[in-house]
Amino acid sequence: MITYKTEKQIEKKQLIALYDSVGWSAYTNEPERLFSAVAHSLTVISAWADEQLVGLIRAVGDGQTILYIQDILVMEAYQNRGIGYELMTKLLDMHPNVRQKVLLTEDAPDVRHFYEKCQFSSCDKGEAVAFYRSY
């Protein structure tokens, strides 16, 4: 059984293990930045199998006009069980009046399918355009 929590304070060891499990080493190479980023996020929802952190979604923004979904990740052993969809649904339900809900992710068929299932539209299929700058 999976339980969901909205606390931002997550044990560091659990957080590192989750991000490492999906290969997000850019986060785990700088663990203090990761802990600070999670703590300062607008919203954090985590998924737990007993006492193990198995999924997380976090968003940044002002909570009024913009919600930027920064991270959504589920341990591989727990993927394709609806956990990611449930995390996304819970996040969007917490911010129903925010007009712009955006995210930036890789373009892969399974990724595209997931976000379209969550009723997101790709900028390459509409009138919007997306830009980003990374270091």
Domains of the chain: 2-103 (3.40.630.30)
Give CA–CA dist 75/29, Å, rounded. Answer: 18
Q: Hunting for tokens 């006492």 — which residue is that?
A: 51
- Which residues face 58 on adjacent strands? 44, 71
The 3-class SS string of 66-105 reads EEEEEEEEECHHHCCCCHHHHHHHHHHHHCCCCCEEEECC
pLDDT at 119: 85
Residue 54 parent element (H or E): strand 52-61
Ordered strands of the 2-5 beta sheet: 2-5, 43-49, 52-61, 66-74, 100-103
pLDDT tens for each residue of the chain, 135 residues long? 999 999 999 999 999 999 999 999 999 999 999 999 999 999 999 999 999 999 999 999 999 999 999 999 999 999 999 999 999 999 999 999 999 999 888 877 788 888 888 888 887 776 777 777 776
- What pLDDT was estimated at residue 59? 97
Confidence (pLDDT) at 39: 96
- Position 4: which residue type? Y
The token duo for 37 is 């980023």
d(CA 92, CA 94): 5
